[in-house]
Amino acid sequence: METAAKKAAKKTGGDLFSERHRLPQALAVPRLVQLETWLAIDNNASENALRRVAIGRKNWMFCGSDNDGRTAATLFSLIASCQRHEVEPMAYLRDVLTRIAATPITELADLLPDRWPAATAN
């Protein structure tokens, strides 16, 4: 048995469901254009950040042991964080590893990649 919506769709040549949901989407587009000044429409930055994970997924399947896998994940995370904050990873690691032993626990946050350039200027 046909519903009234199916009969109306046959009569008008369109799907009432899609017609009903097309209007809110059409109203949302101008609002999205207004937001474009601070919100990027594309997601190239996130796609580029995830590309290494997608490409290396099979390469990282066998890391030797669970501990080696955790170590690799930590290093990849650290390098990605350095790149995100435009910090050269080798210079960062060299500096942090030489200063970490003499740094009080309360000041360890200053050695994170996002705060590191300011901490090295002092």
- Average pLDDT score, the chain: 75
Measured CA to CA in angstroms, residue 53 lies from 22, 40, 49, 56, 113 at distances of 36, 23, 8, 5, 21
Per residue in 81-99, pLDDT (tens digit) is 898 888 999 999 999 999 9
Statement: the pTM of the whole predicted model exceeds 0.75: no
One domain for residues 58 and 114: yes
One domain for residues 50 and 17: no
Parent domain of 49:
44-121
One domain for residues 30 and 69: no
Backbone angles phi, psi at 115, to 5 degrees: -105, -10
Interatomic CA distance for residues 24 and 63, integer angstroms: 49
One domain for residues 31 and 48: no
Q: Please, which pLDDT band fits residue 122 given cuts at 50, 70 and 90? A: low
DSSP3 helix / strand / coil % (the chain, rounded to 5):
70, 0, 30
Per residue in 19-44, pLDDT (tens digit) is 555 656 656 666 655 555 565 666 77
One domain for residues 53 and 83: yes
